[in-house]
Chains A and B, each alone.
Chain A
Amino acid sequence: MATTTPAPALRRKRTRARLRTLGFLSPWLIGFSVFFGYPLIATVYFSFMHYNQIKPPAFVGLRNWTYVLTQMPLFGPALWNTLWLVVVMVALRVVFGLGIGMLATKIKSGTGFFRTAFYLPYLAPPVAATVAFVFLLNPGTGPVNEILGAVGIPAPSWFNDPDWAKPSLVMLSLWGIGDLMVIFMAALLDVPKEQYEAAELDGAGAWGKFRYVTWPSITPIVMFAVVTGVVQTMQYYTQALVAGKLASGVSIGPGTVIQPGYPDHATLTVPQLVYSLGFQNFNTGAACVLSLVLFALAMAVTTLLMRKRAGLLAAED
């Protein structure tokens, strides 16, 4: 082939390749700068401004930052709730998801029925699922408490009890575990059968086989589930908000400002507080500070993900 390509032609070819790459990437390049780069910079800018979305922004230095971090009464509960949910919900989701995934691979009859049954709740739109759970766990006349009452178990008030509101949200989240089940199921089915046979020959029991064969080969997927779970839970918003609103029984509609986090701020998460500050109290500066705190937390986890890779870039080259 052409071993002596003239330099200008080569350069022209390179320029063309570069333009072609730019052309293919252009939707994302525009989207990234307009819908990610710009708002991120603007968020930092507004975090130093006093701005009520009517009068022009005025520079106030670090006042928003000190207000949010040291004085705002709801910051503590919101951060605590978000971290509580991150730890408890993610841990239980991974354990439960792995359990259901293992169960799903062990079923021999009615496989299709069982797997679909386990998966179906994952598809329920979050608002619909939350409305359904507020009804099911309704302390007065909900089916769950009716049944618990019939068998003589003292039933909690679920979403209406500050101690039970977050566990109720965890139950709702475990109901929609279908995505994790599928991911774990695929990973479990990928474990080479010979390894189990070899372990059996070495006299490994059920626990031994799990500990020395299953666990090592699914660790990357567990890691992936933990990290994406943490990132998702830091954004936890819709279910907590809707459950709190509906359980509190306040009539809502456009213009109605309700104090989020019913009962007793037990379901108030950081994203809810961002919304409430920015779109109900019109305290743009404080809302931007809070969203940057959320961003810092999310970035910390993302960096961890990049370091451990968790298989995310594994298919690279």
Chain B
Amino acid sequence: MTTTTLTTRPGPAPTGTTGDPAARARARRSRLLHWIAVHAVAVAVALFFLLPFVFVFLTSVMSDNQAMSGELWPHEWHWSNYLTVFRTPGFLDWWKNSLLYAGLGTLLTVCSALPVAYALAKFRFRGRRTAMVLVISTMMLPPQVIVIPMYLVWAQQLHLAGSLWPLIIPLAFGDAYSVFLLRQFLLTIPQEYLESAKVDGCGELRTLLTIVVPMAKPGIAAIALFQFFYCWNDYFGPQIYAAQNPAAWTLSYGLESFKSAHSVNWNLTMAATLLVMAPVIIVFFFAQKAFVEGVTLTGVKG
């Protein structure tokens, strides 16, 4: 398995030990120039990626007036902006809703994707390939294609529009992307472990829970993180199902309306923006390895 974490350093470059001193000095000089060139480019690129965060942060602690002035550095640091954001009516509810959607959604996704992915990876049955092709087609399907009939069912038959349940409930039924990703991971578990468990008299369910789950922890962590971020970031879903009821909005959906409520207050809007980004970035720093493994799994193993 490719284990590329963002923080691993590659081993020291092999140093040439042969040749005369002049050639060695030349080689060292060209290596140094190469080092400088690479790092100069890296610094410039890092600025492109990080400066937006810096400007957003600096604006978030400016006074109302200064935030409209176009100046870059705050005169005074108004930390109370963050408090104002939290006191905005609805903001705490949006946090709660985002956590409910992302938390419960992730739990349901893992519980339902696990048996499906296990069957697709390890059982031999007719139609296995077709099932995989169908899973992948679901993954590729733009959500807009099926949203209208689904909305009509949730709104007119089940009367659940104005809540997040139309988004959470389907996640209990084997989300295609998670099934696909987890299956790719489960394929890497050697068949021998499962067979010896079976020889010892384990049923499939017990094999799954006692042998496969502990071995598949990194894969499960990866799909859990992806689902959490997907739900946290989702805008289209809450817009369809929760729009008419502000009490059911999530942070991602509410943020945009926050901007129009504080139409000129870029400082408060930027503070709110950082508060929406913060949980994702904090979770990332704690679970970096699982996350990057998941990304590589989709691209390289996938």
Contact = CB atoms under 8 A, between A and B. Distances in A.
Interface of A: 17-18, 20-21, 23-25, 27-28, 30-32, 34-36, 38-40, 42-43, 46, 53, 100, 103, 105-121, 123-128, 131-133, 135-136, 138, 140-143, 145-147, 175, 179, 182-187, 189-190, 221, 224-225, 231, 234-235, 237-238, 242, 245-246, 249-254, 270-271, 274-275, 278-279, 284, 287-288, 291-292, 294-295, 298-299, 301-302, 305-306, 311-313, 315-316
Contacts of A128: 252, 255, 273-274, 276-277
Given A126-B233, A128-B277, A146-B72, 18 more contacts: A24-B115, A25-B120, A25-B131, A40-B146, A108-B38, A109-B39, A113-B46, A123-B277, A132-B273, A135-B269, A141-B69, A224-B302, A237-B144, A271-B144, A302-B137, A302-B140, A305-B140, A315-B301
A136 B266 CA distance: 10
A176 to B, nearest CB: 9
Closest 8 CB pairs of A and B: A31-B173, A183-B299, A28-B174, A141-B70, A42-B149, A39-B146, A24-B119, A112-B7
A28 B179 contact: yes
Contact of A251 (B71, B233, B263): B263
B246 interface: yes
A182 B299 contact: yes
Given A20-B204, A28-B135, A121-B52, A246 B259 contact: yes
Contact of B123 (A24, A39, A138): A24
B249 to A, nearest CB: 10
Contacts of B27: none
Nearest to A185: B4
A198 B299 CA distance: 27
Instruction: Give the interface residue-count category, chain B.
Output: 35 or more
B50 A120 contact: yes
Contacts of B184: 315
Interface string B124-152: 01000101111111101111111111111
A166 B215 CA distance: 45
Given A271-B142, A274-B144, A237 B236 contact: yes
Nearest to A225: B299
A43 B2 contact: no
B256 A131 contact: yes
Contacts of A284: 148, 152
18 contacts: A36-B146, A40-B145, A100-B45, A103-B38, A110-B42, A117-B49, A118-B49, A123-B281, A125-B233, A133-B52, A135-B56, A179-B295, A182-B6, A251-B260, A252-B260, A274-B148, A278-B148, A306-B136
A111 B9 contact: yes
A186 B2 contact: yes
A132 B270 contact: yes
B115 to A, nearest CB: 4
A27 B112 contact: yes
B68 interface: yes
B10 A105 contact: yes
B173 A183 contact: no
Contacts of B149: 38-39, 42-43, 46
Contact of A107 (B39, B137, B299): B39
Contact of B147 (A28, A278, A315): A278
A313 B183 CA distance: 11
B300 A190 contact: yes
A115 B288 CA distance: 12
B6 A112 contact: yes
Contact of A294 (B41, B48, B145, B302): B145
B49 A127 contact: no
Nearest to A23: B115
Contacts of B148: 39, 42-43, 46, 274, 278, 284, 287-288, 291
Contacts of A305: 136, 140
Interface centre among B8, B152, B229 (most CB of A within 10 A): B152
B240 interface: yes
A254 B246 contact: yes
A298 B141 CA distance: 7
B227 interface: no
Interface in B137-196: 137-138, 140-152, 156, 170, 172-176, 179, 184, 187
Nearest to B295: A182
B292 A182 contact: yes
B125 A127 contact: no
Contacts of A316: 129, 132
Contacts of A114: 42, 46
Contacts of B48: 175
Contacts of A291: 142, 144-148
Contacts of A184: 299
Contacts of B252: 125-128
B42 A107 contact: yes
